[in-house]
Chains A and B, each alone.
Chain A
Amino acid sequence: MAVVAVFTALVVGSDFALAPFLNFKLMDVLVFLAAFVFGFRQGASVAILSEGIWSVVSPWGPAGVVTPFLIAGELMFAVGGWAAAKVWGGELKPVSPTSVFIGATLAICAFVWDFETNAATALIANWPGLTVGEVAGYELAGFVFPVPLAHEVADFLLGSLVAPTALLIIPKLRRGA
């Protein structure tokens, strides 16, 4: 419970702090880290709570009906963190190929997040007469430079540089506590 509260606070706080920098958020990495270190349930809880809160208190206004889809997209990072822990949990070093693997995993999650939220926007805008063509149109319209690339590249860099170090420090802090 404390872990979820701390991570959620970190996510929402960092979101406010980084509000001026569009497409650069620590939320994805923090959810990933929570799931990696503490398991899928903890990571998913952080994802649901932090995205749920941010969707309401965001300085750009409430997200509205798209919120469940944003949460679903954020859950991808929890899944990614959990899966990465299963595969590379025992091979972590600050500078190693594993760092690149983790960054790549986060980049994939970012792509899925973009794709899923674009599809959700199409669904909401065209409900109930949604067609595949309309979804494709929204996906295409969503891929406007530099929005998706910035998201994927930022998550890759954070995943490669910050996450491995954090993944080594967090367990030590946990033991220290």
Chain B
Amino acid sequence: MVSKGAFYGAVVVLVALLLFTSSAALIYYNQYQQKASQNESYVSELDSALSRYRELATAYNSSLTDYNRTLSQLATAVANLNTTTPAYGNASAALASLWASYEKLADFGGRRALVYEVRMMVDFGNGTRRWYNDSSVQPGWSGYVATLVLLDGRLQAAWYPAGYFGPDTPGEHFVSGVDGVSQTATESWFVWQFGSGGWAQLPTGADGMEVVNGTTFAWTLCGYDQNFNPTCTP
């Protein structure tokens, strides 16, 4: 027979154990509640950050589109500006770096800029040839603008506006220097395009050359005959 004292003692010990475990449970429940609350706060912050990020990404893409349009307009302006004006000098020098910057920004945004891959060769007429392979240009650029950008603006030219050489003649550039090498009294710069029949001189000049994906073109410093036909080919 268990004594009264032992019975009460057992009850007291059991109650104490119950309270110990209850206290521990309350403590851990309290910690759980705090963590859950923190978690909700983090989730809320994350949602807010995600929302801001999406807004930023939208604004970024919009800016990139504007950038692209601006570049296109700048290229058009460079193609039609008088080469003697300061604006032409500034714009032609800036165009290449702006284009490179645009391509990088498009990459950062996780999307590839819509570009045409072209190849350009410069033949200096003394045995030196320089290739610009896998170069990218913006759709819509002429051969002149593409050359200007690939050479970082190192292109000397004179601008003849539309109608200068007669009625209905388009405006065009007379290129007198490429990549720092100027024409001479007996040699001049000619532009060529590579096609199915090999290299062909472009009668329209670089301004009339339509650059598309895969276009290969060349500049050569050549002598010429009395009809101003080049005496060399690339």
Question: Which A residues lie at the B interface, using CB under 8 A?
Answer: 87-88, 91, 97-98, 100-101, 103-105, 107-108, 111, 114, 139-141, 143-146, 148-149, 152-153, 156
Contact = CB atoms under 8 A, between A and B. Distances in A.
A104 B12 CA distance: 6
A98 B9 CA distance: 7
Contacts, number: 69
Interface of B: 4-6, 8-9, 12-13, 15-17, 19-20, 22-24, 26-27, 29-31, 33
Contacts of A141: 30
A149 B25 CA distance: 11
A87 B8 contact: yes
Given A101-B13, A111-B16, 9 more contacts: A105-B16, A108-B19, A141-B30, A143-B27, A143-B30, A144-B27, A145-B27, A149-B24, A153-B20
6 closest Cβ pairs, A-B complex: A101-B9, A104-B16, A143-B26, A111-B19, A107-B16, A104-B13
A159 to B, nearest CB: 10
A140 B15 CA distance: 20
Main secondary structure of the interface of B (DSSP, over half): helix
Contacts of B26: 139-140, 143, 148
B21 to A, nearest CB: 10
Nearest to B7: A87
Given A87-B4, A104-B16, A152 B9 contact: no
A91 B15 contact: no
A19 to B, nearest CB: 24
29 contacts: A87-B9, A88-B9, A91-B5, A97-B9, A100-B13, A101-B5, A101-B8, A101-B12, A103-B16, A104-B12, A104-B13, A104-B15, A105-B12, A105-B16, A107-B19, A111-B16, A111-B19, A140-B26, A141-B30, A143-B23, A143-B27, A145-B31, A146-B27, A148-B23, A148-B27, A149-B23, A149-B24, A149-B27, A152-B16
Given A87-B4, A108-B15, A111-B19, A100 B27 contact: no
Main secondary structure of the interface of A (DSSP, over half): helix
A82 B53 CA distance: 68
A98 to B, nearest CB: 7
Contact of A140 (B8, B22, B24, B33): B33
A88 B7 CA distance: 11
A141 B19 CA distance: 17
Contact of B23 (A91, A100, A152): A152
Contacts of A91: 5
Contacts of A153: 20
A141 B6 CA distance: 36
Most buried by A among B6, B12, B26: B12
A146 to B, nearest CB: 8
A100 B17 CA distance: 11
Contacts of B12: 101, 104-105, 108
Contact of B5 (A87, A107, A108, A139): A87
